[in-house]
Structure formats: C-alpha cells, structure tokens
Structure 1
Amino acid sequence: MYELKTKETDNSVLEFIEKVESPKKREDAYKLLDLFTETTGYEAKMWGPSIIGFGSYHYKYDSGHEGDAPLVGFSPRKAKISLYFATGDTKRQELLMNFGKHTTGKACVYINKVADINVDILKKLIIQSVEFLKTSYPQR
C-alpha cells in the first residue's frame, strides 16, 4: 500500500523557518506565515519536513487512493518559494495573470520573493483555493 510522505507533523513551524539559510527567504517566510494565517484563519502546521500548511481536507480519488493534505501552504525552498494552491479551479489561472513574477509547475506556483508578487492577488488565491477544496471535498 502506498504511504503518503507529506503528513501533518508536530514539528515547530517557527523552528523550521529559523533554519532557512537565506535571511531574505527567512524574512519572506515570516511574511507568508502572517499572510496565510490571517487570510485562512488556520494555525500553521508542518506537513512533512518542509511544507507549512494551513487547514486540511480529506480526498479520495476514483482509483481508491485517499489521504489528507493542507488546504493551502508554502515552502521556502533553496531555489524558490513554493506556494501550494488547489489546481482544479479555473479561477486560479485568471488570478495568476495579475499575480506578478512567478512560474508554475503541476501543482505549485513558484516565486523568488514576496516583493515580486501582488499580495492582494495572493490573498485571493488563498481564499479561492480554500473555498474550492472545501466545496470539492466536504468534511464527513
């Protein structure tokens, strides 16, 4: 049976941020921590060794694969900061058009620094993702 690597842990979010090598990335991580906490109303939790997540939802795919994941989150990685939002909503693409300097992967949005993005759009992306996932995966 497949075991999820990214599970909620009891590790300290603040200790994790303090270990970020780059002072500028550490500063951005604290800015994002405040923004995500304020926007979601959820307490930050560590998911796996390096993702700071907010809220959670339980998903179950048609394949039978299921698990828990944060509603939104971020990770201050060495190369770029990864932002985690829901991927299934078409509003995400519209919002990203005015987001600022970023790249996208399959599930992540990558930024170099908070100064490169429109923080108001970031808040809208967070809210949109939380609402989309809560609607798509209602709690039992």
Structure 2
Amino acid sequence: MEPTGGSVAAFVAGVTPAIRRRDAETLIALMAEITGRDPELWGTIIGFGSCHYRYATGREGDMPILAFAPRKAASTVYLGETAAHTEALERLGPHTASVGCLYLKDLERVDETVLRGILEADYAATTSGRDDTVTITG
C-alpha cells in the first residue's frame, strides 16, 4: 500500500452518506492534531504518516501510522490491535470492532475524549520504537 497522491478534500467531498462525510472531517482534524501530520490518500483510506512493517513470517509492506476509511456502513478506524484498548472501548460508546479495526457509525454518539485516548495510545505504540517489526518512514 502507498499514498496515491489524490486530493483528500475532493475525496471527502464525495463521501456518502452525509454523516460519514461529517465524521471524516472530524477524524481528519483529530488525527492531524494527534500526529502533527497532514492527511494523505492511500486509495480510499485517509492516512497520517507512513511506516514499513516486517513480520517474522516474512510478510512486509507499507501503511499509514494512523488511518481511517469512511465507508458507507461506518467509519473504519485502523488500529494495531483493538485488544490493546479493551478498557477504553468499554467506555467509548456505540461501536463494533475486529482484530485491528474499530467501526463507528456516528461520531456524535461516542465519547470523543475516549476516542482521542485510543488514537493517541495507538499512535504512540507505533512510533515509540518498541515494536521492532515497524520502521517509521514518513
């Protein structure tokens, strides 16, 4: 995966439904503030910064350090592992989650302070250098 160079603003302007567009604008502001980085399009994913990962299995690639995708059903926030945020997720409000994704149907219904904490913790874990499978590249 790599940045595609498209216009984030143009992409967000075309996001439907309107609630997802509103949430995308909120997530962009929040993630830009947390990371200090500008948003970039990675296909249909809006990412902040970049890193290279290499697993013991030999699988490797590039990905944003912090990212989300405004999908029709929900905004998908990509995390290292949702299990690392179990306690915070209990306080977040309405959401669903998988191993590495947090699905939010309406940001106005979740606790933004809790969401900020989850995103800050995930960003710090990725950029801390504790995980020798990840190298920050941008």
The two structures share one fold, judged by TM-score above 0.5: yes
Q: Which residue, out of 37, 48, 56, partners 1:54?
A: 48
Please state how far the C-alpha of 1:94 moved relative to its aligned partner: 1.9
Separation in 1, partners of 2:46, 2:90: 25
CA contact (8 A) 1:56 1:69 kept: yes
Aligned residues with identical type, % of pairs:
32
8 Å contact kept, 1:71–1:86: no
Q: 1:8 aligns with which of 3, 7, 12?
A: 3
Cα deviation for residue 120 of structure 1 reads: 0.8
Q: How does 1:117-136 map to 2 (within 5 A)?
A: 117-134=110-127, 135=129, 136=131
For residue 11 of structure 1, report the CA deviation from its aligned partner: 0.8
Could you list the runs of 5+ residues in structure 2 that have no partner in the other structure? none
SS at match of 2:6: coil
1:86 partner letter: G
- AA aligned opposite 2:2: K
Distance 1:89 1:55, change over 3 A: farther
Q: Structure 1: state its 5+ residue gaps.
A: 1-5
Deviations for 1:20-61, whole angstroms, at most 9, x for unmatched residues? 12222211111111111112111101112x110111211101
Once the two structures are superposed, the pairs formed by residues 100-139 of structure 1 within 5 Å of their partners are 100-134=93-127, 135=129, 136=131, 137-139=134-136
Cα contact 1:46–1:53 (8 A) shared by 2 = yes
How far off is 1:138 after superposition?
4.2
Q: TM-score, normalised by structure 2?
A: 0.88
Letter in 1 for 2:77: L
